[in-house]
A = this chain, B = another copy of it.
Amino acid sequence: MQATKKQTLYDTLRQRVLTLELAPGSALDETILCEEFGVSRTPLREILQRLAAHGYLEITANRGATVSSMNLSVMRSFFQTAPMIYASISRLAAENATPVQTTQLKAEQRQFRIAVKRNEVIDMAMSNHRFHEIIGEMAASPYLLPSLQRLQIDHTRMSQTFYKSRNRTDHERIDSACEQHEQLIEAIEKHQPATAVDITRQHWELSRHQFERYVQPDPLPIDPLSPIQAPTQVDNHAL
């Protein structure tokens, strides 16, 4: 019966980490979470163990759980690893995707479009996350999936700023991403690995550009009195 309760617990905490509702590095209070979810500490702690092993949390002995930190030292490795893993996953997905999975993917893309249209930040982040997660499932590679999932945790968290942005250029980029999703679905459905890899590469480049601005904000104008030409509202407090 209460397998549902534990799953809810896992999913909810996971979402809070991914949407930055729980800030990187922040501590989790077992007692408070127990009250909130109406469970005792035993099952809660088992879930925390799982979340930690999956990379969402970090557990230190006798000092409890904290949300996984996103430090700059791993960024390099993120940018090195992501394109390779994403490309491999897309290739395998295009080779192995079943019709049922393609249907799932299309459904998730509809959710994403709706969230984009309504400008619902959390829904955008989560449906985009789920979209790429489904592609991961399509790849059917238990050995590649763990790395994809680790990448996605930080990718989704970094994307928050992107989704939250009320900037014109960013909105256009979100639309581009949405269009790339459609193309990717088509390539996967038609079993065209090469095309899928290429679109994935473009999709990654779009993200990468965004992240570069995020990590390294636009330089200040030379003349501090002249108005800033392209007013970008990037807040990089999270990193």
Contact = CB atoms under 8 A, between A and B. Distances in A.
Determine the interface band of chain A, counting residues with CB < 8 A from chain B. 20 to 34
A190 interface: no
A85 B143 contact: yes
A81 B89 CA distance: 10
Contacts of A145: 147
B150 A142 contact: yes
Contact of A147 (B62, B78, B144): B144
- Most B CB within 10 A of own CB, among A88, A144, A154: A144
A54 B141 CA distance: 15
A82 B42 CA distance: 37
Interface of A: 3, 42, 45-46, 49-50, 52-55, 61-62, 74, 77-78, 80-82, 84-85, 88, 92, 140-147, 149-151, 154
